[in-house]
Amino acid sequence: MDFHPYRWGDPAHATELPTSAKDTLALFGVKTPEHGPVEPVEITLPAVALDAEALDALAAVVGAEHVHTDHDARLGHTRGWSTPDLLRLRAGDATDAPDAVAKPGTHDEVVALLDACSTRNIAVVPYSGGTSVVGGLAPRREGFAGVVAIDLGQLDALLDLDPVSRTATLQAGMRGPRVEALLGEKGFTLGHFPQSYEGASIGGYAAARSAGQSSAGYGRFDDMVVGLVLATPRGTVTLGSAPKSAAGPDLRQLVLGSEGTLGVITSVTVRVRPAPAERVFESWRFASFEAGADALRRLVQDGPEPTVLRLSDETETGINLADPSAMFGSGPGGCLAVVGYEGSAADVAARRAGATAVLTEAGGELLGPDGGEAWRKGRYRAPYLRDPLLDAGVLIETLETVTFWSNLHALRAAVTTALTESLTAQGTAPLVLCHISHLYETGASLYFTVACAQAEDPLAQWAQAKSAANAAIRAAGAAITHHHGVGTDHRDTYAQEIGPLAVDALRAVKQALDPAGILNPGVLIDPTTGGD
């Protein structure tokens, strides 16, 4: 699949705004911009900074046919899918374009590419799905001879499937649908379904600690990984002798979340599950977000645990109801939840009976399968609305965080207030929606969607709101990201979160594995500050 440089997902699924939505937007002072976005072909790229010797060195590793410096290849590897990323490209700004795109076909070629780039002081951005929404694909350029995107798309094989141990070894460039197709042929599933499923890949899941919509049942991606292979400028690191052990620190968990700064993950070995024989998705209504959160908490703390758990707040519930293409057609008021079960028929029946009793006891009203099934079938569609909304003059973006249960409602209030106050002060009062979609025994994530009229400079407008949200998250003691990652956008808040000594420890690991500092410089860790 070829993705558009600045539009979400599969171009075949691009969508239009419903007419009724346009009427609603007018109420928020939204005005359609005079000029549409710059067409991709009209975007000017910076000149290729790499000289012929450098390009030849890349070609010597992967073959000349796998080194690309043309306009489309470079533009197609420029930044990710965050709203600021899209806004920049829509405005014709492709200053972060890589100088070249190299497409290795093997792990050894990745190691050789890193060695070639390290020797020549060329910065490297590992690129697999290209779906980062936190600036993870925009490495620092200053101080380097150029930037090469290492596109892992050719590394897309299922290397091994062990049906007894229920593990699969997957190459980093495999996108979600390919993983499920290949595992499905053998009767297995990975069960990892992030919102970016159509575009995101195994390497990105691992490097940025992805969490999918079925995390209640299948776990987060970092829970699934039992082994990995990392290419570094100094060679290969292979980790994962056992599911769990006491053999020192769990270094897999040091590589997971390292966002391409310590090496390039070329394959992972993951736990897989039998493809489910049965699926039931239902929707529920709760009187309030607090009541719904308490009910869902009971399930993850005392069981039985469904496969999917998701609770929208009153505003998100209301928006969906007001939309003629609404996912839930169940009447006004309260908060809607999706509860899904996957597994064997007996397992689904048992968990569903148990969970239904708990949710009913907690004040929930079972609305039936229609809303749940509609959500399941349309689960990847919502982000496609962003492009026509941006076209229509709406600023829309999402952000997320995670905390312990006792801090959840205070955190939600603080972030909502920060976003609302920042954008209102800028003359663009927003709508702030929130949902819970990842739950743990000790806490849960909060996912916010923010929409308002675009100001004259929407990048600056969002930067101010985002900064206020980051500060609110930090002040509340929560984590700066639950599953989007750190990238460049969260880097400074992340440094505050873990503190200067932990930043030094990370920097020391990077120095050990990547002495020239070429790997995704500026992502995750600021290379220009700190240290002894």
Q: How many CB atoms lie within 10 A of CB 277?
A: 12
For residues 390 and 411, which CB has a smaller minimum distance to a second copy in the complex?
Answer: 411
Q: What strands, in cross-sheet order, belong to the sheet with 431-436?
A: 365-368, 278-286, 335-343, 308-312, 431-436, 443-453, 394-404
Cβ 71 to a second copy shortest distance, Å: 33
Q: Assign residue 520 a region (left: φ > 0; alpha: ψ between -120 and 50; beta: otherwise).
A: left
Among 244, 331, 332, 456, binds a second copy (CB under 8 A): 244
Q: What strands, in cross-sheet order, belong to the sheet with 147-151?
A: 67-68, 100-102, 147-151, 123-127
The DSSP secondary-structure symbol of 12 reads G
* Distance of alpha carbon 435 from alpha carbon 448, whole angstroms: 7
Q: Is 502 near a second copy (CB under 8 A)?
A: yes
Among 12, 27, 47, 164, binds a second copy (CB under 8 A): 164
Cβ 241 to a second copy shortest distance, Å: 4
Cβ 502 to a second copy shortest distance, Å: 5
CA neighbours closer than 13 Å in the CB half-sphere of residue 405: 16
For residues 88 and 297, which CB has a smaller minimum distance to a second copy in the complex?
Answer: 297
Among 253, 360, 424, 528, binds a second copy (CB under 8 A): 253
Q: Is 511 near a second copy (CB under 8 A)?
A: yes
* Distance of alpha carbon 29 from alpha carbon 207, whole angstroms: 40
Summarize the annotated binding site for substrate as residue ranges.
Answer: 386
Footprint of a second copy on 10-69 (CB under 8 A): none
**φ, ψ of residue 523 in degrees (nearest 5):** -85, 145
Residue with tokens 């390290």: 118
CB proximity list for 23: less than 8 A, separation 6 or greater: none
Q: Is 443 near a second copy (CB under 8 A)?
A: yes
End-to-end CA distance of the chain: 47
Cβ 191 to a second copy shortest distance, Å: 12
Q: Is 477 near a second copy (CB under 8 A)?
A: yes
Residue with tokens 């290379």: 527
Among 25, 494, 520, 521, binds a second copy (CB under 8 A): 494
Specify the pairing of strand 308-312 against strand 431-436. antiparallel
Q: Is 179 near a second copy (CB under 8 A)?
A: no
Q: Is 1 near a second copy (CB under 8 A)?
A: no
Among 53, 249, 331, 456, binds a second copy (CB under 8 A): 249
Look up residue 268 and give its two tokens: 């992972």
Cβ 512 to a second copy shortest distance, Å: 4
Q: Which region, judged by CB under 8 A, interacts with a second copy, from 28-36, 301-309, 428-436, 462-470?
A: 301-309
Rounded to 5°, angle at Cα 299 from 298 and 301: 65
Q: Which region, judged by CB under 8 A, interacts with a second copy, from 71-79, 80-88, 183-191, 477-485?
A: 477-485
* Distance of alpha carbon 93 from alpha carbon 87, whole angstroms: 9
H, E, C per residue of 199-221: CCEHHHHHHCCCCCCCHHHHCCH
Q: How many CB atoms lie within 10 A of CB 515?
A: 12
Q: Is 499 near a second copy (CB under 8 A)?
A: yes
Among 44, 95, 119, 344, binds a second copy (CB under 8 A): 344
Q: Is 197 near a second copy (CB under 8 A)?
A: no
For residues 384 and 447, which CB has a smaller minimum distance to a second copy in the complex?
Answer: 447
Three-state secondary structure call for residue 278: strand
For the annotated catalytic residues, the residue numbers are 447
* Distance of alpha carbon 284 from alpha carbon 231, whole angstroms: 46
Q: Is 485 near a second copy (CB under 8 A)?
A: yes
Backbone CA torsion sign across 126, 381, 273, 245: positive
Q: Which region, judged by CB under 8 A, interacts with a second copy, from 90-98, 252-260, 326-334, 378-386?
A: 252-260
Q: Is 319 near a second copy (CB under 8 A)?
A: no
For residues 28 and 405, which CB has a smaller minimum distance to a second copy in the complex?
Answer: 405
Q: How many residues comprise the chain?
A: 532
Q: What is the crossing angle of helices 491-498 and 458-475, to 10°?
A: 10
Among 138, 182, 255, 308, binds a second copy (CB under 8 A): 255
Among 167, 449, 461, 470, binds a second copy (CB under 8 A): 167
Q: Is 404 near a second copy (CB under 8 A)?
A: yes
The 353-392 site mask, x for binding a second copy (CB under 8 A), equals: -x--------------------------------------
* Chain centroid to CA 167: 24
Q: Is 166 near a second copy (CB under 8 A)?
A: yes
Cβ 314 to a second copy shortest distance, Å: 22
Q: Which region, judged by CB under 8 A, interacts with a second copy, from 50-58, 113-121, 245-253, 328-336?
A: 245-253
Among 247, 324, 332, 456, binds a second copy (CB under 8 A): 247
Q: Is 402 near a second copy (CB under 8 A)?
A: yes
Cβ 347 to a second copy shortest distance, Å: 7
Q: How many CB atoms lie within 10 A of CB 361?
A: 10
Q: Is 486 near a second copy (CB under 8 A)?
A: yes
Q: Is 504 near a second copy (CB under 8 A)?
A: yes
Rounded to 5°, angle at Cα 381 from 376 and 383: 125
* Distance of alpha carbon 465 from alpha carbon 326, whole angstroms: 28
Footprint of a second copy on 198-227 (CB under 8 A): 208-211, 220, 222, 226
One-letter amino acid at 78 equals T
Among 303, 329, 378, 427, binds a second copy (CB under 8 A): 303
Summarize the annotated binding site for FAD as residue ranges.
Answer: 126-132, 259-265
